[in-house]
């Protein structure tokens, strides 16, 4: 195993490149599946958030997805244009916008339920390896956000 202080500038030695390449490959695996339901990958992530819990404030979606409001707002506008969500100002705090699913947004869930399993299978990892990788990536992201 290579010592950390010996990592050089070789592309294949870079954690950032390995993560970048893996992220692009996972996103590419989702792309044709999501095209069937007219969603982009970031829109899919927003929908996953809403299928877990709604209503959700815009800021909470951004926090959950680690995105700023300048990135979340256009995603929400497109999902609203698709008829999948509603955006409403909260009556108790007009500065805060709450997002809820429409009936079409709720119904869409059934159309995408197979996607995570299809992509997980495409990784070639067994269930334990898949779960271990996901846990390690979450831990990595958490550690890096703290620094």
pLDDT digits (tens, 9 = 90+) for 24-67: 999 999 999 999 999 999 999 999 999 999 999 999 999 999 99
Domain spanning 39-103: CATH 3.40.50.300: no
Residue identified by tokens 């916008």 is: 97
In tens digits, what is the pLDDT along the chain, a chain of 147 residues? 558 888 889 998 999 999 999 999 999 999 999 999 999 999 999 999 999 999 999 999 999 999 998 999 999 999 999 999 999 987 777 778 899 999 999 999 999 999 999 999 999 999 999 999 999 999 999 999 998
Distance CA 60, CA 98 (A): 9
Domain borders along the chain are: 39-103
Distance CA 93, CA 41 (A): 31
Distance CA 21, CA 25 (A): 6
Burial string for 112-130 (b: 16+ CB within 10 Å, else e) reads beebeeebbeeeeeeeeee
């Amino acid at each position: 195993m290579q010592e950390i202080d010996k990592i050089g500038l070789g592309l294949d030695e870079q954690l950032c490149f390995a993560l970048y390449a893996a992220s692009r490959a996972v996103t590419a695996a989702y792309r044709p599946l999501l095209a069937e339901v007219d969603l982009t990958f970031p829109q899919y992530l927003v929908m996953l958030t809403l299928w877990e819990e709604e209503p959700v404030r815009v800021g909470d979606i951004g926090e959950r997805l680690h995105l700023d409001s300048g990135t979340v707002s256009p995603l929400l506008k497109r999902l609203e244009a698709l008829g999948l969500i509603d955006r409403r100002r909260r009556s108790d705090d007009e500065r805060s916008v709450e997002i809820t699913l429409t009936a079409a947004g709720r119904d869409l869930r059934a159309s995408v339920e197979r996607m995570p399993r299809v992509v997980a299978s495409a990784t070639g990892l067994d269930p334990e390896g898949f779960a271990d990788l996901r846990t390690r990536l979450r831990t990595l992201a958490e550690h890096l956000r703290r620094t």
